[in-house]
């Protein structure tokens, strides 16, 4: 039997693979599973985007290797969208890079700047590829706890001088997965100031910026003075336009960081399928109505579940963004025990908070990715389990 590499052995089981295994096992026993686990939109990709892909896929030049830098038209459209959405100026030639979704870019970026033993500062709980990307690059990480009493923001003032001096990377993700928390301008200003003082690179994950409610508008870190000197930001069309399977996103920011990421990717992949890039242009250019429609659906789902869960005594904040609910586990259960109880007794799949990191213990995450007609069943099933 072949042994895995030491780096692979350092990784915990990938959270969603384990959840998928448990779902399959329950379904094989004939149970009606309500899946609130993985954040994968159940809404369809808009027809105009599918039509554009269909048209572009038939053009012979688009069937060949894509340009590593992405087609100029897509980079220009991304620059236009960033200006429209955040009022930030990005050079489409040097400061923007289309990617195969944001996940691969986030995971590959440490290969560009991390040397053996270098340190990354990572929020806890977090999206798992932050950790795996650093470990695959040979780096180490220090976890920054996200606590309710600090609005699920890392307390940057508690980072030691030694950690800050040694750190190469600082990961931020707001609106946040899994907590749904949002960052303030003051928080970003502090992060940029610290990054400049200690020569740290900020990796900002902004995948959920368009999934907002109640008039809330998240910031891009690039709106902060001086951020472009030390930051790279990652975005995705996945959740915004119901395109998770299409694998298209983009990175933007400091041109040297973009160049280094591009160099890594040129040696690993061959770019985004060009027909999908043209479909991405259509999404960014014409997708505003789709986003508005999606948000109305997710808001309805959010409100049904929040009201129902609170009526059962569960503790949670009403999220301003993302399509997640971050909920306290009832005592005396651990996150894993409670989630297994929901699966076994109520046939509901949710995600244990500790799967995102040790500071997620005591919470579970719900994804708003099933039809609102089934949500009353969720509340009724949870009402019947014995706590």
User: Which pair of structure tokens corresponds to residue 216?
Assistant: 């809330």
What would the mean pLDDT of 94-106 be, rounded to a whole number? Answer: 97
Residue 346 vs residue 14, higher pLDDT: 346
What is the predicted pLDDT for the residue at 387?
84
Residue 22 pLDDT > 80, yes or no?
no
Q: pTM score, two decimals?
A: 0.95
User: Which pair of structure tokens corresponds to residue 194?
Assistant: 């610290």
287-323: per-residue pLDDT in tens?
999 999 999 999 999 999 999 999 999 999 999 999 9
Residue 26 pLDDT > 90, yes or no?
no
Residues 6+ apart with CB under 8 A from 113: 168, 169, 201, 257, 260
Residues 6+ apart with CB under 8 A from 54: none
Residue 286 pLDDT > 80, yes or no?
yes
Ranges 29-33, 81-85, 194-198: which has the least confidence:
29-33
Which residues lie across from 145 on neighbouring strands? 124
250-274: per-residue pLDDT in tens?
999 999 999 999 999 999 999 999 9
| Residue 276 and residue 53 in contact, taking contact as beta carbons nearer than 8 Å | yes
What is the predicted pLDDT for the residue at 349?
93
> What does the DSSP 8-state code read for residue 39?
-
Share of the chain above pLDDT 90, in %: 89
Omega of the bond leading into 153 within 30 degrees of 0 (cis): no
Confidence of residue 10 (pLDDT cuts 50, 70, 90): confident
Residue 365 pLDDT > 70, yes or no?
yes
Residue 224 pLDDT > 80, yes or no?
yes
Residue 115 vs residue 19, higher pLDDT: 115
Confidence of residue 13 (pLDDT cuts 50, 70, 90): low
332-361: per-residue pLDDT in tens?
999 989 998 999 899 999 999 999 999 999
Domains and CATH numbers, the chain: 6-44+289-384 (3.90.1150.10), 47-287 (3.40.640.10)
What is the predicted pLDDT for the residue at 46?
97
What would the mean pLDDT of 11-21 be, rounded to a whole number? Answer: 68
| Residue 171 and residue 159 in contact, taking contact as beta carbons nearer than 8 Å | no
What would the mean pLDDT of 159-175 be, rounded to a whole number? Answer: 98
Confidence of residue 12 (pLDDT cuts 50, 70, 90): low
What is the predicted pLDDT for the residue at 15?
61
What is the predicted pLDDT for the residue at 9?
81
What is the predicted pLDDT for the residue at 6?
84
Could you give the count of Cα atoms lying within 13 Å of 264 in the half-sphere of its Cβ? 20
Mean pLDDT, the chain, whole residue set = 95
What would the mean pLDDT of 354-378 be, rounded to a whole number? Answer: 96
**How is the beta sheet containing 324-328 ordered, strand by strand?**
324-328, 363-367, 351-352
Whether the CA torsion 61, 63, 67, 72 is positive or negative: it is: positive
| Residue 207 and residue 175 in contact, taking contact as beta carbons nearer than 8 Å | no
| Residue 168 and residue 200 in contact, taking contact as beta carbons nearer than 8 Å | yes
Which residues lie across from 365 on neighbouring strands? 326, 351
């Amino acid at each position: 039997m072949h042994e895995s590499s030491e780096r692979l052995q350092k990784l915990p089981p990938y959270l969603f693979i384990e959840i998928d295994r448990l779902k399959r096992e329950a379904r094989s026993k004939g149970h009606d599973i309500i899946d609130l686990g993985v954040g994968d939109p159940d809404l369809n990709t808009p027809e105009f985007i599918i039509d554009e892909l269909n048209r572009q896929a038939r053009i012979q030049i688009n069937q060949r290797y894509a340009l590593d830098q992405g087609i100029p038209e897509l980079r220009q459209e991304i620059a236009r969208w960033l200006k429209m959405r955040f009022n930030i100026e990005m050079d489409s030639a040097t400061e923007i890079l289309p990617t195969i979704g944001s996940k691969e870019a986030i995971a590959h970026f440490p290969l560009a700047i991390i040397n053996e033993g270098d340190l990354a500062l990572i929020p806890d709980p977090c999206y798992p590829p932050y950790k795996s990307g650093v470990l695959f690059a040979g780096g180490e990480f220090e976890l920054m706890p996200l606590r309710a009493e600090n609005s699920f923001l890392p307390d940057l003032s508690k980072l030691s001088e030694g950690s800050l001096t040694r750190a190469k990377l600082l990961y931020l993700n707001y609106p946040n997965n899994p907590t749904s928390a949002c960052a303030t301008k003051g928080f970003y200003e502090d992060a940029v100031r610290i990054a400049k003082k200690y020569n740290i690179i900020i990796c900002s994950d902004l995948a959920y910026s368009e999934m907002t409610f109640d008039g809330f508008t998240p910031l891009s870190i690039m709106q902060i003075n001086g951020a472009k000197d030390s930051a790279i930001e990652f975005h995705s069309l996945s959740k915004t336009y119901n395109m998770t399977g299409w694998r298209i996103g983009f990175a933007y920011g400091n041109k040297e960081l973009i160049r280094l990421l591009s160099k890594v990717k040129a040696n690993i992949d061959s770019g985004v399928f060009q027909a999908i890039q043209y479909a991405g242009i259509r999404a960014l250019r014409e997708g505003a109505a789709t986003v508005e429609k999606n948000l109305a659906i997710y808001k309805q789902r959010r409100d049904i579940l929040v009201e129902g869960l609170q009526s059962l005594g569960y503790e949670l904040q009403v999220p301003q963004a993302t399509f997640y609910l971050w909920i306290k586990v009832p005592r005396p259960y651990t996150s894993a025990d409670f989630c297994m109880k929901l699966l076994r007794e109520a046939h509901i799949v949710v995600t244990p908070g500790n799967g995102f990191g040790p500071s997620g213990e005591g919470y579970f995450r719900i994804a708003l990715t099933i039809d609102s007609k089934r949500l009353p069943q969720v509340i009724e099933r949870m009402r019947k389990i014995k706590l």
